A and B are shown apart, each in its own frame.
Chain A
Amino acid sequence: ETGVTQTPRHLVMGMTNKKSLKCEQHLGHNAMYWYKQSAKKPLELMFVYNFKEQTENNSVPSRFSPECPNSSHLFLHLHTLQPEDSALYLCASSQDRAGGTDTQYFGPGTRLTVL
């Protein structure tokens, strides 16, 4: 058990749908991350939150909208996605963002398919 949970584990949506991914961490960490993982590609960092404040947005299209209501919960709201957005979306947490040398703990991911 990693202490980081994600729901749903699988999601199939059409390009006009709106859906949300949820992440929850039970580790008392202060930083949370969204990553996109595509086959045979490096993990792509999408968003970083530290103490509920967004600290990074790596040129992610506006059809992805993050929300962090508190240090334990992170959402990724999806709307009008494209087929190329199909991927595994991973959530992670770490003690804090300072230094970037903290070990990150990952959730199992949401496998997203956009039709």
Chain B
Amino acid sequence: GQNIDQPTEMTATEGAIVQINCTYQTSGFNGLFWYQQHAGEAPTFLSYNVLDGLEEKGRFSSFLSRSKGYSYLLLKELQMKDSASYLCAVTDSNYQLIWGAGTKLIIKP
């Protein structure tokens, strides 16, 4: 079966750095997405990785290792507004998007 694993919940402190991991077992790979979803709101696109390595966008970075079936989202200089769920999703060989259950990130002052 196809599976995306990410921690259910994480807690971090304002101003700190947090890394949210995502591991996947899918039939093939055609890219990995990270989305952010605030409570009661729409998921919004954060990043897309299809090649190995680190993609940086301001305070957020996303890393991919295809050989390990692993990605992480790195959030720096955490702000209270970063409290949200972070969804990892992988496109498989049939171009189906497989979603993880999301990681709820709680930021404390």
Q: Which residues of A contact B (CB under 8 A)?
A: 2, 4, 40-43, 45, 90, 98-101, 103-109, 111
Contacts and interface: CB of A to CB of B under 8 A. Distances in A.
Contacts of B43: 90, 106
Interface of B: 4, 8, 30-31, 33, 35, 40-45, 48, 50, 87, 89, 91, 94-102
Given A101-B50, A103-B45, A43 B99 contact: yes
A40 B8 contact: yes
Contacts of B40: 108-109, 111
Contact of B101 (A42, A90, A101, A109): A42
24 contacts: A2-B42, A2-B44, A4-B42, A40-B101, A42-B100, A42-B101, A42-B102, A45-B96, A45-B97, A90-B43, A99-B91, A100-B91, A100-B95, A100-B97, A101-B48, A101-B50, A101-B95, A103-B48, A104-B45, A105-B45, A106-B42, A108-B42, A109-B41, A111-B40
B91 A101 contact: yes
Contacts of A103: 33, 45, 48
A15 to B, nearest CB: 25
Given A99-B30, A101-B31, A101-B95, A41 B45 contact: no
Contacts of B100: 42
A54 B41 CA distance: 26
Given A2-B44, A101-B50, A103-B48, 11 more contacts: A40-B102, A41-B101, A42-B99, A43-B89, A43-B99, A45-B97, A100-B96, A100-B97, A101-B31, A104-B97, A105-B45
Nearest to A38: B101
Contacts of A109: 40-42
B86 to A, nearest CB: 13
A43 B98 CA distance: 8
